[in-house]
Amino acid sequence: MSLLPPSTTETERRLSAALALSALGAAADQVARLWHPDTCPAQCLPALAWCLRVDEWSDAWPEDVRRKVCRDAIYLHRRRGTRASVVRALRSVGLINELLGYEAHIVEGITALRRDATAVRDGTRSRGETSSWATYEVLLNRPITIAQGQSARRVLEATAPARCTLALLDFSETAFTRDGSRLRDATISYGAT
């Protein structure tokens, strides 16, 4: 593969072909493999993530998640500040996965509570709060740990528009129940973070 422009002279093309056959050409192929998330060796993925300016990274993630985060980095930077980038960021860290049925509903423009029986008093908003078009909530249909919630908040803070504020990351519809089946070790929460 040649990266030479169309205006290249014949001498430059021959020199490029000779270098491609030499050790320098092989080294260039190795470097090119390092810059691609699918061909980069697993031990080099943190360096690739740093070069791509990945906002949230964890060495504890499975290798396929780390590769997906690197693969999505350029897309996210191009579309930063859009609803699509928020969804893609949540998908890349595994909080949205259509194959497993994990979905997120983003509610934009939180309105003030009124005394007309239309709002549920669940402790997430107070009565008399002013409406804010730039405030949003993310409702997940799966339980998450406290660490996942903190990671999601950091990802959303880095990806969402600067003028927007995350009011709530809610998974209360699928919260862990207090039935003794889970160990209370401060790694899980029971509905919202």
Domain locations in the chain?
13-80, 82-193
CA distance 51 to 47: 6
Under 8 Å between Cβ of 170 and 139: yes
Sheet holding 165-170, edge to edge: 104-110, 132-140, 165-170
What pLDDT, on the 0 to 100 scale, is given for residue 119?
59
CA distance 139 to 43: 34
pLDDT digit string (tens) for the chain, length 193 residues:
677 888 989 998 888 877 776 655 566 677 788 889 999 999 999 999 999 988 888 898 899 989 999 998 888 888 888 888 888 888 877 888 888 888 888 888 766 555 555 556 666 555 555 556 678 888 888 878 778 888 888 888 888 888 888 888 887 655 455 556 655 555 556 555 5
Nearest to 48 by CA among 31, 62, 60: 31
What pLDDT, on the 0 to 100 scale, is given for residue 50?
92
Please name the residue ranges forming H helices in the chain: 10-21, 23-34, 45-51, 63-78, 83-92, 146-159
What pLDDT, on the 0 to 100 scale, is given for residue 149?
83
**60: region left, alpha or beta (phi > 0 left; psi from -120 to 50 alpha):** alpha
What pLDDT, on the 0 to 100 scale, is given for residue 70?
93
What pLDDT, on the 0 to 100 scale, is given for residue 18?
76
What pLDDT, on the 0 to 100 scale, is given for residue 22?
62
What pLDDT, on the 0 to 100 scale, is given for residue 113?
56
Under 8 Å between Cβ of 176 and 162: no
State the amino acid at position 76 in one-letter form. L
What pLDDT, on the 0 to 100 scale, is given for residue 182?
57
What pLDDT, on the 0 to 100 scale, is given for residue 45?
93
Strands 104-110 and 132-140: antiparallel
Nearest to 107 by CA among 162, 170, 193, 174: 170
